Amino acid sequence: MSIQTNLQGRLRNTSLPYNQGLLPLFEAVVNSIHSVEEAQLSSSNGCITVEIIRNRQQDIEFDNASVKRGPETYRDILGFKITDNGIGFTEPNMTSFLTLDSDYKADKGGRGIGRLLWLKAFNKVNVNSVYRNDDSGLKLRTFTFTALSGVSDEKCTDASIETQRLTSVRLDGFKVKYRDASYKSTPTIANSLFEHCLWYFVREGGAPSIIVRDNDQAISLVQVYEEHMVSSAETEHITVKDQEFDLTHIRLRANSSHSHVIAFCAAKRLVKEESITGKIPGLYGKLHDESSEFIYACYVTSPFLDKTVRSERTGFDIMENSNGLFAHELSLDEIRDAVIAKATDYLSIFLEEKKLKAKDRLEDFVSRKAPRYRPILARIPEDKLIIDPNISDKELDLKLHRHLSDIEEQLLTDGHDVMNPKSNEAFSEYQKRLEKYLKTAEDIKRSDLANYVSHRRVILDILEKAIQRDSNGRYVREDLIHNLIMPMRCDSNEIMLDSCNLWLLDERLAFHDYLASDKTISSMPITNSIETKEPDILALNVFDNPILVSEGNKLPLASIVVIEIKRPMRNDAAEGEDKDPIEQAIGYLDRIRRGTVTTASSRPIPSSENIPGYCYVICDITSSIEKRCKIHDAVRTSDGLGYFFYHRIYNAYVEVVSFDRLVNAAKERNKAFFDKLGLPTI
């Protein structure tokens, strides 16, 4: 009893991802290649034409990035017509076509389901085939193939005497979900078809002539092959767990759309490509040989891959990795590792230049921008340090930081183990483990110190750029500089000290009992004040609120420091607390004292009204600021970049610091550290 086949149900169970909508076209072209071979035509006599059928009514724009030609206009693709001069739909071939999962062409890698893929992406297929019948000369066979009716309207008649052997397969009604996810430009479609059929070009005997036509445009894949190839392919044989594999190493010209890939094939058809860029040390970007740039591809074929390929030829039924009960079975990981090892040997001579560039790029980055990583470079495997020479600073920093995190994690694990000597462990062995642990810990601490110093270098660079005028002739707002020194609207109970850069002004400000930024006086727990912002202060820019620091942890506190920040090159200072930043700073100090100052834990401070005050005004010395300084009888600093004076009535030292003086002084204080790390200080 024969078993009935439900075509529509079979189609539902056939998988074709949307982004592989051109695979049915590729399968049809491979069928034509086999048909030419079956007709015993040489590659020079075999001819295959692929015609792209487009909508004549509507033009669409498509950015053809893969061929670097910019936006181009293309009509929607309705289908494709594939024509060849192969053997055609003879009686045996037609019988095979009518048999799902036919093994008629099993020796050529046929799985008997290629035509199912046609109906996954297209609504209808029309076939016209003129073939030679040994008994009655040329015959013409025509039929239609759809999901609803299967094969219909089949006719077989005698062909006219003038007719030549020719078969055309027209794929009509390109389904929208596949069409939208597929390539649209003629060159890109031709390149993709070439890459899928590349094996047929590099094999012995070559491929027949394949032409892709689109209206008046025609692209020969033989010409594409000649443009892509750098040198003839090299082959070698490997064995992995008793399975035989043939590797074909190919160098493609750099104008190919390929990245460096491994191409897994089944029955001489491309099934799966995997990028290996970065998986071989130094394999980044284009490579160079004695003649030109190239992209590397390794084509892998094997009876094992032929046997395990999925019916739709979109992947393999092979475990990704094997372990436990299945450790004896061959996995993709094992195949991949063996192929990459051979690819590494093949490419070794071409990777030396890349490795040198990677070393220079890493050395330059660590020396100039990230000295924190220098102490741990020797602990990173050498092959992991061969990075892409064109990698961005951000990506390189992240890559090195991951290595640092791994080392720190291992250090933590070793730290727990080293505290517990192993049973029966000799003291000398334990001592070696301890010394190794301590050496790693020392390198980590050196890295932390280098990071601390280089962070200061970065902050100074940012501040120096922030006080410059931009291309529009404007200066940054004071809130940006304020946040750089200390985040706004928070106090020391809400942020970590590492978030503050008060060292820019004075290293001693790192030691405090309480720290507040852009907070009302009444909200500060050290003031016991009910006073809110007064109208003259409220009228100022909200970012003009002070940074308040109370130093020390002994009673009474050593001092109160108020820092007032103004926008670079601001030149509107005038008499009155709402206009004079010096008066503003002293006014804040006075209000805080009148509120009865306490410690951050609300402990009273005897005679808090007499606590010495330090007021810093950070601004550029414009003409209006200079005038206010003279009115306050301030003394100009020796470098001419600031003023200072002591206000006897308010018991306060006041200093006006220009941004240039702030940056210069911070650089001078940190110069020894920068020099030690090789960081520039200019």
Encode pLDDT of 555-577 as tens digits: 444 577 888 888 888 899 999 88
pLDDT band at 66 (very low <50, low <70, confident <90, very high): very low
Which has the minimum average pLDDT: 286-295, 333-342, 668-677?
668-677
Say if CB 112 and CB 102 are below 8 A apart: yes
Say if CB 376 and CB 410 are below 8 A apart: no
Does 451 score more than 90 pLDDT?
no
Say if CB 377 and CB 385 are below 8 A apart: yes
pLDDT band at 47 (very low <50, low <70, confident <90, very high): very high
| Number of residues assigned to the chain | 682
Q: Which of 204, 201, 205, 203 is nearest to 222 (CA)?
A: 201
> Once rounded to an integer, what is the mean pLDDT over residues 293-317?
86
Does 595 score more than 70 pLDDT?
no
Does 106 score more than 80 pLDDT?
no
> To 10 degrees, what angle do helices 186-196 and 221-228 make?
70
> Once rounded to an integer, what is the mean pLDDT over residues 55-65?
57
Q: Residue 64's pLDDT is what?
A: 46
Three-state secondary structure string covering 31-51 = HHHHHHHHCCCCCCCCEEEEE
More confident position, 232 or 388: 388
Which has the minimum average pLDDT: 226-230, 274-278, 396-400?
226-230
The listed range with the strongest mean pLDDT (27-31, 224-228, 351-355) is: 27-31
Which has the minimum average pLDDT: 64-73, 309-318, 621-630?
64-73
Does 465 score more than 60 pLDDT?
yes
pLDDT band at 72 (very low <50, low <70, confident <90, very high): low
Q: Residue 547's pLDDT is what?
A: 52
DSSP string, 624-661: HHHHHHHHTTPEEPTTSSEEEEEETTTTEEEEEE-HHH
Q: Residue 560's pLDDT is what?
A: 79
The rounded distance, in Å, linking the Cα atoms of 543 and 534 is 15
> Once rounded to an integer, what is the mean pLDDT over residues 159-169?
85
The rounded distance, in Å, linking the Cα atoms of 185 and 105 is 33
Q: Residue 543's pLDDT is what?
A: 35
Does 60 score more than 60 pLDDT?
no
pLDDT band at 1 (very low <50, low <70, confident <90, very high): very low
Q: Residue 136's pLDDT is what?
A: 72
| pLDDT, tens only, 607-640 | 556 778 888 898 999 999 999 999 999 999 998 9
Does 71 score more than 50 pLDDT?
no
Does 660 score more than 80 pLDDT?
yes
> Once rounded to an integer, what is the mean pLDDT over residues 358-383?
82
pLDDT band at 182 (very low <50, low <70, confident <90, very high): very high
Residue reference for tokens 């980590």: 444
The listed range with the strongest mean pLDDT (67-76, 90-99, 476-485) is: 90-99
More confident position, 479 or 567: 567
> Once rounded to an integer, what is the mean pLDDT over residues 293-300?
88
| pLDDT, tens only, 380-405 | 888 888 888 888 889 888 888 888 88
Q: Residue 577's pLDDT is what?
A: 84
Q: Residue 2's pLDDT is what?
A: 47
pLDDT band at 440 (very low <50, low <70, confident <90, very high): confident
More confident position, 523 or 274: 274
The rounded distance, in Å, linking the Cα atoms of 517 and 489 is 5
Q: Residue 499's pLDDT is what?
A: 63
Which has the minimum average pLDDT: 359-373, 395-409, 424-438?
424-438
Does 247 score more than 90 pLDDT?
yes
pLDDT band at 112 (very low <50, low <70, confident <90, very high): low
| pLDDT, tens only, 84-104 | 999 999 988 898 888 776 655
Say if CB 611 and CB 527 are below 8 A apart: no
Considering Cα of 180, then 186, then 192, then 197, what sign does the dihedral take?
Answer: positive
Quick one: CA torsion of 281, 283, 288, 292, rounded to 10 degrees? 160
Q: Which of 328, 119, 360, 122 is nearest to 241 (CA)?
A: 328
Q: Residue 69's pLDDT is what?
A: 42
Q: How crowded is the C-beta side of 680, counted as CA atoms within 13 Å?
A: 6
The rounded distance, in Å, linking the Cα atoms of 301 and 245 is 6
| pLDDT, tens only, 521-557 | 666 555 555 454 332 222 222 234 455 555 555 544 4
Does 287 score more than 70 pLDDT?
yes
Does 350 score more than 80 pLDDT?
yes
More confident position, 17 or 446: 17
Percent of the chain past pLDDT 90, that is, above it, reads: 26
DSSP 229: B
Percent of the chain past pLDDT 70, that is, above it, reads: 77
Mean pLDDT score of the chain, rounded to an integer? 79
Q: Residue 533's pLDDT is what?
A: 38
Q: Residue 538's pLDDT is what?
A: 22
How big is the chain by its Cα radius of gyration, in Å? 38
The rounded distance, in Å, linking the Cα atoms of 429 and 474 is 66
Does 183 score more than 50 pLDDT?
yes
pTM score of the predicted model: 0.54
